[in-house]
């Protein structure tokens, strides 16, 4: 199954991150973002997942951590995180094995 293609949907996570995270990443803000995510802030969890997935904010790419943070935000009901978790299952991101059923489940929750 391929859901992303070259659509605007692929750019949405990056645009969301760029729109909501600049203040979190300024002046050692990555540490603040991590702290907020660890304290249960769903937006911070999503942004941290995007940061790990795309090597933003001085973080190196870590697909396992990206999938972890997407799940944390997705379980709180954040639609973009649910979509990202679906994509993670579709691709087998990090330690997740490719699972089309889980991918479809999370894509549907995100819709």
43-56 tens-digit pLDDT: 999 999 999 999 88
Question: What is the predicted pLDDT for the residue at 27?
Answer: 42
Question: What is the predicted pLDDT for the residue at 11?
Answer: 63
Average the pLDDT over 66-81 and give the result.
97
pLDDT at 1 over 70: no
Question: What is the predicted pLDDT for the residue at 57?
Answer: 84
pTM for the full predicted model: 0.77
pLDDT at 30 over 90: no
Residue 33 token pair? 């973002």
pLDDT at 71 over 70: yes
**Buried b vs exposed e over 4-43: b needs ≥16 C-beta within 10 Å?**
eeeeeeeeebeebbeeebeebbeeebbeebbebbeeebbb
pLDDT at 83 over 50: yes
């Amino acid at each position: 199954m391929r859901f992303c293609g070259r659509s605007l949907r692929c750019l949405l996570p990056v645009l969301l991150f760029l729109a909501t995270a600049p203040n979190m990443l300024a002046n050692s803000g990555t540490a603040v973002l991590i702290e907020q995510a660890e304290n249960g802030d769903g937006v911070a969890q999503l942004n941290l997942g995007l940061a790990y997935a795309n090597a933003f904010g001085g973080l190196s790419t870590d697909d396992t951590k990206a999938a972890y943070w997407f799940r944390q935000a997705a379980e709180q009901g954040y639609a973009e995180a649910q979509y990202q978790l679906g994509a993670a299952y579709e691709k087998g991101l990090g330690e997740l094995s490719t699972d089309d059923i889980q991918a479809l489940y999370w894509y549907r929750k995100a819709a």
